[in-house]
Amino acid sequence: MQHLQINNLTFKYQDTDIFTNLNLSFEPFSWNCIVGNNGSGKTTLLKLIAKKIKPESGNIVGNDLVYYCEQNLDKTPDGFEEFIYTFNSKTFRLKELLHIQDEWFYRWETLSYGEKKRVQIAIALYQEIDVLLLDEPTNHLDYKSKNIVLEALKSFRGIGILVSHDRELLNSLCTNTVIIKNQNVYSYKSGYDTAIKELNQYRSLLQKENENTNKELKKLQKNIQTQKEKVSLSKSRLSKKSIDKSDKDTKEKINLAKLTGKDKNDSKLVSTFSKKYEEQISKRNNIDKEFEKGIKIENNISKKDLFSFYLEEGSLKLSQEKILYYPSLTINSTDKIAIVGDNGVGKSSFLKYIISKIDLNNNYLYLPQEIEENQIKKLYEQIASFDNDKKGLLYTLVRRLSSNPKNLLENRFASPGEIRKLFIAKALLENISLIILDEPTNHMDIDSIEALEKALVVYDKALIVVSHDKTFIKNLNLEVWNVLKTDDKNFFITK
């Protein structure tokens, strides 16, 4: 098996440069991750390797036998029929490895996203390929499905490349990391966490070099200005216009100064300093500005408006046959809770049940997994009514959540992840007493997730989160309520 080699690749989309003279190499028998902000070109790079799209120039070598697992699973994956009608040790092993039931193949439309993803990966691993490409393989998956997918991917013997915002998956699987940041591509022979540390150290070094260069530029600017003033003064002194015609001695001195070149020395120095200035400009590193992340809002909520909640032990009917049992539960004004569990055990239903029991006079934010259009419309109408000072504060909060505030506030059709950040920024600005988030990281890139973590970790009010993102839960130090099942009809919450 040969290396996968990307050579001097250039790709444009609607006259916008995505990659320019890109060079990358992926080793055989390795797992590699590609990370970066939404819209940075991660999926585009996968599609280029998969030969779904063509570059403007350059080439890719070693991608003859490739399978691409895309995010969208509305249609059955390539190779679906061959897989389901092949009965040999390999298909049996893959079905067992990925916990796939034969009856799934005959009801594709009714399968959950996680079940479809497991079938897609089984089909991919069945192919005789050298390169396996995956775009967000664990998005929307619960803990159980994530672990099943992880173990299956570890069995692949080839070049694996995945795009994901799942930091646990990246650190568990990948030994090489490609980071796309502001049209710059950085490659590291290390896992995700280590690669990010290395990139931050490199960027800090570049910023320090830029600071030193800027100090030198200020000195040179001052020297240039001083010499220009000397030149101007010298020209004035060497002018004979204001000298009396009979003052021969003064005229002789001026002629002597011109003859010896004293009038030219200052001009030469201006030229010398200007040249040095241009040299220093060329040394300055092209590094994008990093905006500060993390948010701290002044606490201006009265005690009577703070959130507190108590639920006596009881049960919630999830459907005609399914029941969720819960113990007595208390949430105080600064508690931070994570509700976790496999898909289908009633987490979102229980979240809505809690909301139905609270009375906060709308002093809370609830963001479901899918935000309705009327909610978005109302949000933008409310923001439009803000005065300039309040809009300015909102701009700052949006930027600290790793978004461009101007683009986001002027575009109602932004991505789901961006819209979520706008809702959260407004909630933090208004210092509400409770934030409820259902799978908040599903539509966000890693940079946005980490910015959200920094904001929520200092949010000193009540927070309730439903999430499958273990790293997110750990970094926020959330108290975990686990939803488990006794059987297919009975579920219960443990603390």
Residues 482, 493: contact at Cβ < 8 Å? yes
What pLDDT does residue 222 have?
76
Nearest to 32 by CA among 45, 20, 19: 45
DSSP 463: E
Sign of CA dihedral 480, 485, 489, 492: negative
**Could you say which residues of the chain have pLDDT below 70?**
220, 223-224, 227-305, 362, 411-413
Calpha distance 207→213 (Å, rounded): 10
The domain segmentation of the chain, as residue ranges, is 4-190, 203-283, 303-494
* Nearby residues of 70 by Cβ (< 8 Å), 6 or more positions away: 135
Q: Which fold has domain 303-494?
A: Rossmann fold (3.40.50)
What are the Cα distances from residue 104, in Å, to 111, 126, 355, 451? Answer: 7, 17, 35, 39
User: With DSSP H G I counted as helix, E B as strand and the rest as coil, what are the percentages for the chain, rounded to 5?
Assistant: 45, 20, 35
Residue 438: in which H helix or E strand, if any? Answer: strand 434-438
Q: Are 34 and 163 in contact (CB under 8 A)?
A: yes
Determine the Cα–Cα distance for residues 424 and 296; give it in Å rounded to an integer: 13
pLDDT for res 442 = 86
Tokens of 225: 């200005």
pLDDT at residue 130, as a whole number:
96
Q: Which fold would CATH assign to domain 4-190?
A: Rossmann fold (3.40.50)
Give the torsion sign (CA, 232, 237, 243, 245).
negative
So what's the pLDDT on residue 469?
94
**Whole-number pLDDT of residue 285:** 59
Q: What is the pTM of this model?
A: 0.80
Site of tokens 């409820």:
436
**d(C-alpha 382, C-alpha 60), whole Å:** 49
- What interhelical angle do 416-429 and 373-384 show, nearest 10? 50
Query: In degrees to the nearest 10, what's the CA dihedral of 275, 280, 282, 284?
Result: -160
**Measuring CA to CA, which residue among 459, 442, 438, 447 is closest to residue 140?**
442
Cα gap 93→151, rounded to integer Å? 13
The sign of the CA dihedral 107, 108, 110, 115 is positive
Which of 148, 136, 114, 116 lies closest to 68, judged by CA?
Answer: 136
Contacts of 456 (CB under 8 A, 6+ apart): 336, 435, 463, 476
Same fold, 4-190 and 303-494: yes
Predicted local confidence at residue 354, as pLDDT: 92
Distances (CA, A) of 217 to 222, 224, 269: 9, 10, 16
Which residues lie across from 11 on neighbouring strands?
Answer: 19
What is the reported pLDDT for 87?
Answer: 93
Edge to edge, what strands does the sheet with 30-36 contain? 66-69, 131-135, 159-163, 30-36, 176-181, 184-188
Could you give the C-alpha distances from 350 to 312, 445, 463, in angstroms and in order?
14, 27, 15
**What's the pLDDT score for residue 232?**
62
